[in-house]
Structure 1
Amino acid sequence: MTEGNFVDYVKVHISSGNGGKGSAHLHREKYVAKGGPDGGDGGRGGHVIVKGNKNLWTLYHFKFQRHFKAGHGEHGGKSRSTGADGTDVYMEVPLGTVVRDTETNKILFEITEDQEEKIVLEGGMGGRGNWHFRTATNQTPRYAQPGISGQDTQVTLELKVLADVGLVGFPNAGKSTLLAAMTSAKPKIADYEFTTLKPNLGIVEYRDFKSFVMADIPGIIEGAAEGKGLGHYFLRHIERNATLLFLIPADSKDISQEYNILLGELERYNPELLDKNRLVAISKCDMLDAELIEEMNEDMKEDFKDVPYLFISSVSGLGIQELKDRLWTLLNE
């Protein structure tokens, strides 16, 4: 999937159907000149329903359809015939989609299971026919209820990527290169910051035909939790990852400080992110010799005593298999 086809945020206008009118019909047949009321109820208006589809990975299809309108209910008829309900309209979304009210930004619900259905906008109720209003003193009511009108609103669909492992790091830390080295994904790779603007997903093949999904999240910068550098758009994807892999390049000025900045941004955005399993990978170690790696290892033992770390190189393959083993262990704890 190319970056341009990955759509994870879209606003959609939706309309539910009007309820049908109840009938005020009075029964008439050949030898019954003045029959009683027999008006049927109107049908309800169509609902707008959001439905989960495990085969979808993006909201791309909403680029071409931004308006969804359900059908209106049919009017009631004679002989207490109820009008047909309006046609429901379905909006299929990938798993991990959050539905918000655009005006209030309130979360309405989230779709996490395949074929899960949630009514986002109910259709109007159908009106009752005059048969319901007959009484001892008014045996031929000539009125019926009108149907209730449908509703119009705008909702925001927001996709949070569902992946086992999320790559977290500053721009240009080598996340896309690592994803390409560990999976068959082909993310855009270049020597400048913010090469990746949309998440990339790849399947990591493990031993004995086992696998797990890894997501390359766009780079985080200091101040991302406050929205700097499209921070909110990037950080929301980390919420659905089971394990976080922090990627810090070996040529960083201060590896420990860089890790703490990343951790601080996650904590400010959502403190619950710190409850996830974490692993730190020092990337671009093909630039180092064994002696320098050992020296760095000694310096890092004190700062990273609470979180596991290892040295890797996506180019030379150094530590890649060990990284897969560590991630698999974390995912299955």
Structure 2
Amino acid sequence: MRIRMLVSHSRRYSSRPTGAQSAEASSSYEIPLSLEEQELRDALFRKRKTDWKRRQGGQSFLDNLIVNIRAGAGGDGCAAFHREKFKPYGPPSGGNGGRGGDVYIQPTPHLTTLSSVSRRIRGEPGGNGQGTWQNGRNGAPLVIKVPLGTVVRELARDDPRRAKDEWEAEQEAYEGLEKEERRKKWRERRWVHYPQYEDDNVERSAFKEAEWELYKAEREIRMQRRQRAADPIFLDLDKIEDTEKHIDAPLGQPRTNHLGHLIASGGVGGYGNPHFLSATNRSPKFATRGYDGERITLSLELKLLADVGLVGMPNAGKSTLLRALTGGRAKSEIASYAFTTLNPVVGVVRVSEDGSFVGGGVEEMVHEETSVEEERDRELMESGAYADVRTRNQLRLDNGDDGASIVETFRFTIADNPGLISQASENVGLGHSFLRSMERSLALAYVVDLSGPAPWDEINVLREELEKYKPGMSKQARMVIANKADLLGGDGNADEVQAARKKLERLEEYVRTNLVVDGRVLDVIPTSGKYSQNLRAIVQTMRRYIEEARATSISGNDS
């Protein structure tokens, strides 16, 4: 009620008096707010912003998307004849149609969400051929940029979400037609006739022979497309492709620009009428049209690449802990209600040689308060206009504005994700969105609320949901962070401090008894993210886990 009264006062007295009443009105209408009232008002505004994000349906962050893709259609060939002075009947001079643009997919580290990817993607069509032997231009390739960690799957033919491919769509257009009508429509889609010669062409033996050759070539294309559909696309875009020129490459060889992985080939362009010139047909008056590009339906699934993932129930203090570990630069939502964090946020921790650390820039940040200019730049970046532009935090680090003078010797990333609840493996709450983002972390850290009645029960729920979602996933857990352990420092009532220490001892006993993975007992580290207590122990422990995981990964790749 007090918060509502504050908001009503601010609305009622926000109008500005004019003239001589200005000074009197300002002195009589202004209501000074105490520090507590200002904090309540700020909390209300933060809650309203988070509620607004909920109502958007997750549009600010997207980690699962179905995309319908069509490569560019080939251009039509041209049926024309050369004409110049004193040569009224020149040779056939129609150009070929250009090839349709291919569609590629490329991972980039400068994107953090799939919201910049359109659900319907169309490649650039090839240009039509023209007279005087002018071939149509080829369509420019289209590159779809997605975040690192995106898994690309082509939907199976029996999946109801899959759109029809180019041949199925054409066959659907012939349904319900008689044989002659179907043949006529097929010819309209395949042939270009010189003006007023269509009826004459279909009666000529040269045209019938060319039509038979086209049919055989088209049957071969259909067989190749069917073979490719039998081996659907599956890509795991977890690293940037190496585009550097090979050291043994010949001198003067131009450097090719890597476009990514080809997922849909453009349609073949049509032939101009010179293609059908023969000894028996000296004046071909027909050309072919271009073919449609490939049509595929892809499932894009984003799995964040973070070294350490924080696993915890709602309001366990994961966002507060992430802010403390990253020096306050990881701006995830913090409030006193459940599901404050709706989208994954990944922050960077930079460690010096002596063990001290400072938070780095946010590598992957989903939502942030921005100015008008920053919001415009963000929209341009997500639309793909300049998706490779460096982020503001990366520019700060390049300019030396990192707020610390330490010499960095080690760096790792920590992911804060939406809270996990019971039945999250059945997609209750924010379950699947949370679990997808945790699947690729090198190590997981359970974050429990030590001030709660039974933090060991929270660990049991977290472990069970991880195992239900993916068997063996709970083995990635390396430590238990007992957050909100403020009373262990001795500040407070003696009975409360003693109760907190007994609760910590019981938690450690539970971990030693029940959380043994491959003969290894998980570490239990009490901390307070709010007051930045015992953070160095967390950073050093995480660093040890990550070094071991990276060394194991390198040795596995070498073998």
2:332 corresponds to 1:200: no
**How much has 1:205 moved relative to structure 2?**
2.3
- After TM superposition, the structure 1 stretch with the greater mean CA deviation from structure 2, 182-191 or 100-109, is 100-109
State the one-letter code of the partner of 2:543: W
Q: 2:523 matched to 1:309?
A: yes
- Structure 1, unmatched stretches of 5+, are none
Equivalent residue number for residue 130 of structure 1: 273
> Would you say 1:111 and 2:256 are equivalent positions?
no
Quote the residue 2:104 is aligned against. Answer: 49
Say if 2:375 is the partner of 1:321.
no
Structure 2 counterpart SS, 1:177 = helix
1:233 aligns with 2:430: no
Contact preservation (8 Å) 2:104, 2:259: no
Instruction: Assess, with a 3 A threshold, how the Cα gap between structure 1 residues 166 and 300 changes in structure 2: closer, same or farther.
Output: closer
Q: Is the 8 A contact 1:7 1:60 kept in 2?
A: yes
Is 2:547 the partner of 1:332? yes
Partner of residue 166, structure 1: 309
Instruction: Report the TM-score when normalising by structure 2.
Output: 0.52
- 1: distance between equivalents of 2:417 and 2:121? 31
| Structure with greater helix share of residues | 2
Tell me which of 155, 179, 202 is aligned to 2:322. Answer: 179
Q: 1:219 to 1:186 in 2, by over 3 A?
A: same
- Per mean C-alpha deviation after superposition, the further-off stretch among 214-223 and 126-135 is 126-135
Listed as ranges, the matches of 1:47-86 within 5 Å are 47-61=102-116, 68-78=121-131, 80-86=133-139
CA contact (8 A) 1:16 1:151 kept: yes
* Partners of 2:94 and 2:129 within 8 A in 1: yes
Count of aligned positions: 330
Q: 217-226 vs 301-310, which deviates more?
A: 301-310
* 8 Å CA contact retained: 2:511, 2:522: no
Task: Please give the alpha-carbon distance, in whole angstroms, between the structure 1 residues aligned to 2:259 and 2:480.
Answer: 36
Tell me what 2:150 maps to: 97
Q: Residue 283 and residue 104 in structure 1: after superposition, are their counterparts in 2 closer, same or farther (change >3 A)?
A: farther
What is the Cα deviation at residue 111 of structure 1? Answer: 3.3
5+ residue gaps, structure 2, are 1-48, 54-58, 156-160, 164-231, 241-257, 354-407, 489-496, 549-559
Are 2:456 and 2:507, in contact at CA under 8 Å, matched by a contact in 1?
Answer: no
For 1:91, what is the secondary structure of its paired residue? strand
Once the two structures are TM-superposed, the CA of residue 99 in structure 1 deviates from its matched residue by 4.2
Specify the alignment match of 1:8 in structure 2: 62
Q: Is the 8 A contact 1:278 1:308 kept in 2?
A: yes
Alignment CA distance shift 1:85-1:211 (3 Å): same
Query: Could you give the per-residue CA deviations for residues 187-240 of structure 1, whole angstroms, max 9, x where no partner exists?
Result: 211222211111122111222312211110111111111111131122111122
Instruction: Summarize the alignment of residues 260-299 of structure 1 with structure 2, pairs less than 5 Å apart.
Output: 260-271=460-471, 273-274=473-474, 276=476, 278-288=478-488, 289=497, 291-292=501-502, 293-294=504-505, 296-299=507-510
RMSD: 3.3
Aligned to 2:541, what secondary structure does the other structure show?
helix
Q: Percent identity?
A: 37
Secondary structure at 2:290 match in 1: coil
Structure having the higher strand fraction is 1
Cα 1:25–1:247, aligned 2, differ >3 Å: closer, same or farther?
same
Matched with 1:216 is 416
Distance 1:199 1:320 in 2: 21
Give the direction of change, closer, same or farther, for the CA distance of 1:231–1:305 in structure 2 (3 Å limit).
Answer: closer
Q: 1:6 to 1:165 in 2, by over 3 A?
A: farther
